[in-house]
Amino acid sequence: MYDTNHLALHLRSASVGRDNALYAEMLDGTKLTYGEMFSAAEKNASALQLAGLKPGDRVAAQVEKSIESIQLYLGTVLAGGVFLPLNTAYTVSELEYFLRDAQPLIFVCDPKKSDTLQVLADQTGVGKLFTLSVEGLGSLKDALPKHVVNFKEVARGKDDLAAFLYTSGTTGRSKGAMLTHNNLVSNAESLCECWQFDNTDVLIHALPLFHIHGLFVATNITFFAGSSMIFMPRFDSETIIAVMYRATVLMGVPTFYVRLLESANLCAQAVAHMRLFISGSAPLLAETHKQWQNVTDTAILERYGMTETNMNTSNPYKGERRAGTVGMPLPGVEVRIADADSGQQLAQGEIGSVEIRGPNVFKGYWQMPEKTKQEFRDDGFFITGDIGTIDGDNYLSIVGRSKDLIISGGYNVYPKEIEIILDDIEGVYESAVIGVPHPDFGEGVLAVVVLVAGQSLNESHLKTILKHKLAPYKRPKNIFFVEELPRNTMGKVLKNTLRDQHKDNFIKHSG
């Protein structure tokens, strides 16, 4: 069934009749119009179809950030495929799980890794491997047709999948969160409305493209509003400050704002042309919020989202942007605080389970019907795993997490995954991985390790092993050795005790 909530139709809609309007400008001055973007996207869609892509097939991509990677995303959606972006830091052993689980028909990777990943693709049943470099070169470019005439996007319904992203749980097994066309369309529309985006906006895009924030918030909103972006391959504080005079919006993680505040060039005059600074993906310290306001005379707008739901709440565009809170529910999104066991809604001001219902909430976990069922209440509310409270003005504050999830620099880190690897190292008896406050990353990853009696492993040895098995953001920054882990009477490791013991680790070492 063809549906008006087809993501591709909405991505195109704001630029209809505006083929010559600017979509993106690179730091070297290169410019791309909307017409050029969608012409390239249609060529990508055709190349994917020629490679055998059918509606519902997955296209996995582990590629460096580039305009061409956005064109691949658009092309996948136009062709009716399901886009699966993968963190560029994932190791081969991490990729193996994702490819086996997702069973993508097509996998796009960096040409520098193609020899190794071709072997992996063959082993995991991937149908076709393409390459795409940060410069936009590779076998995918070679496969693009020279001309595509009257391309028509493949019909998809609002409940068909447009993308999925992997997110883990405390079991250590990654789960594919399935996002529908309607999930992405409804969320982008709400955010455009709440943040008052229009075609005069210029976004500084310095986020990665392999997760919700950079791809489905920043990129989708730009298309939906018909606005433009200054496209940066990575975050650089001095470059961002240098281009603010011709931009209007910055989306970032708290680390962005901490780094920007370190610059002597940041001041009210530098941000005079900017209308909005948005922060998300990790908690923004109230101290950072206050410091930013003092230096720039502007208030950061903090919002709250997650892989399974896109964005849920936002501080107001007009009104008080309250430090320490993530604002109020977006239009059409319901947020409640409930008793974790019963699901009964709690009174205003009480602390409990944050639960979400709305068109933004994902369809479920890929090939995990039982896990999906466990995470939803009978009335359709999704149990986020976060713990929070809602005040009398309807502002939500996140006070903790019911699971052991660590959010470091805006990335989710799942302790169990790291503990499994540590515990498998010869000479390690057991381990516990925790997150503690970090001035730059929100939370820093620490490991507490118990060695087998008589062993004398050191921190450097363990870090060397982890380097080959884990993406950098997952690796413990410090490893401590103890004789035993603290436990309760039931034998459960008391991670709260460990967090308390090490809570000042990064604070005292930060200066």
Q: What pLDDT, on a 0 to 100 scale, did the predictor assign at position 9?
A: 85
Band of residue 170 on the pLDDT scale cut at 50, 70, 90? very low
Q: What pLDDT, on a 0 to 100 scale, did the predictor assign at position 332?
A: 94
The mean pLDDT value for 160-168 works out to 90
pLDDT-wise least confident of 18-22, 399-403, 465-469: 399-403
Is the pLDDT at 98 greater than 90? The verdict is yes
Task: Round to whole Å and give the CA distance between 24 and 208.
Answer: 16
Band of residue 405 on the pLDDT scale cut at 50, 70, 90? confident
Structure tokens, 268: 């009210």
What is the three-class DSSP state of 147? Answer: coil
Q: Characterize 133-160 residue by residue with b for buried, 16 or more Cβ atoms within 10 angstroms of its Cβ, and e for exposed.
A: bbeeebbbbebbeeebeebebbebebeb
Q: What pLDDT, on a 0 to 100 scale, did the predictor assign at position 403?
A: 66
Q: What pLDDT, on a 0 to 100 scale, did the predictor assign at position 169?
A: 46
Q: What pLDDT, on a 0 to 100 scale, did the predictor assign at position 416?
A: 77
Q: What pLDDT, on a 0 to 100 scale, did the predictor assign at position 180?
A: 97
Task: State the Cα angle at 137 between 91 and 240, rounded to 5°.
Answer: 75
Q: How far apart are the first and last CA of the chain?
A: 59
Q: How far is CA 162 from the centre of its chain?
A: 16
Task: Round to whole Å and give the CA distance between 7 and 83.
Answer: 12
Q: What pLDDT, on a 0 to 100 scale, did the predictor assign at position 324?
A: 86
Sign of CA dihedral 434, 438, 442, 444: negative
DSSP string, 166-224: EEE-TTS-EEEEEEEHHHHHHHHHHHHHHTT--TT-EEEE-S-SSSHIIIIIIIHHHHH
pLDDT cut 90: percent of the chain above it: 78
Q: What pLDDT, on a 0 to 100 scale, did the predictor assign at position 67?
A: 97
Is the pLDDT at 492 greater than 80? The verdict is no
Asked if 256 and 226 count as a contact pair (C-beta separation under 8 A), the reply is no
Place of tokens 């609002």: 158
In this predicted model, what pLDDT tens digit does every residue of 349-392 receive, in sequence order?
A: 998 899 999 999 999 999 999 999 999 999 999 999 988 899 99
Is the pLDDT at 171 greater than 50? The verdict is no
Band of residue 10 on the pLDDT scale cut at 50, 70, 90? confident
Phi/psi at 270 (5° precision) = -65, -30
Q: What pLDDT, on a 0 to 100 scale, did the predictor assign at position 510?
A: 46
Q: What pLDDT, on a 0 to 100 scale, did the predictor assign at position 509?
A: 52
Q: What pLDDT, on a 0 to 100 scale, did the predictor assign at position 2?
A: 53
Task: Round to whole Å and give the CA distance between 83 and 66.
Answer: 16
The mean pLDDT value for 62-69 works out to 97
The mean pLDDT value for 119-126 works out to 96
The mean pLDDT value for 87-94 works out to 90
In this predicted model, what pLDDT tens digit does every residue of 313-348 receive, in sequence order?
A: 999 999 999 998 999 999 999 999 999 889 999 999
Q: Which helix (H) or strand (E) is 242 found in, with range?
A: helix 237-243
Closest CA to 358 of 221, 191, 224, 198: 191
Is the pLDDT at 307 greater than 90? The verdict is yes
Model's pTM, two decimal places? Answer: 0.84
DSSP string, 410-479: TEEE-HHHHHHHHHTSTTEEEEEEEEEEETTTEEEEEEEEEEPTT----HHHHHHHHHTTS-GGGS-SEE
* Most trustworthy range by pLDDT among 52-66, 139-153, 408-422: 52-66
Is the pLDDT at 117 greater than 70? The verdict is yes
Average pLDDT score, the chain: 92
Q: Characterize 223-258 residue by residue with b for buried, 16 or more Cβ atoms within 10 angstroms of its Cβ, and e for exposed.
A: bbbbbbbbbbeebebeebbebbeebbbbbbbbbbbb
Domains of the chain: 7-24+31-157 (3.40.50.12780), 195-299 (3.40.50.980), 406-509 (3.30.300.30)
Place of tokens 């229009």: 198
In this predicted model, what pLDDT tens digit does every residue of 262-293 receive, in sequence order?
A: 999 999 999 999 999 999 987 787 888 999 99
Band of residue 238 on the pLDDT scale cut at 50, 70, 90? very high
The mean pLDDT value for 254-261 works out to 91
Asked if 207 and 180 count as a contact pair (C-beta separation under 8 A), the reply is no
Is the pLDDT at 134 greater than 90? The verdict is yes
Question: How many other CB atoms are there within 10 angstroms of residue 444's CB atom?
Answer: 25
Q: What pLDDT, on a 0 to 100 scale, did the predictor assign at position 133?
A: 97
DSSP string, 9-70: HHHHHTTTT-TTSEEEEETTS-EEEHHHHHHHHHHHHHHHHHTT--TT-EEEEE--S-HHHH
Question: How many other CB atoms are there within 10 angstroms of residue 356's CB atom?
Answer: 24
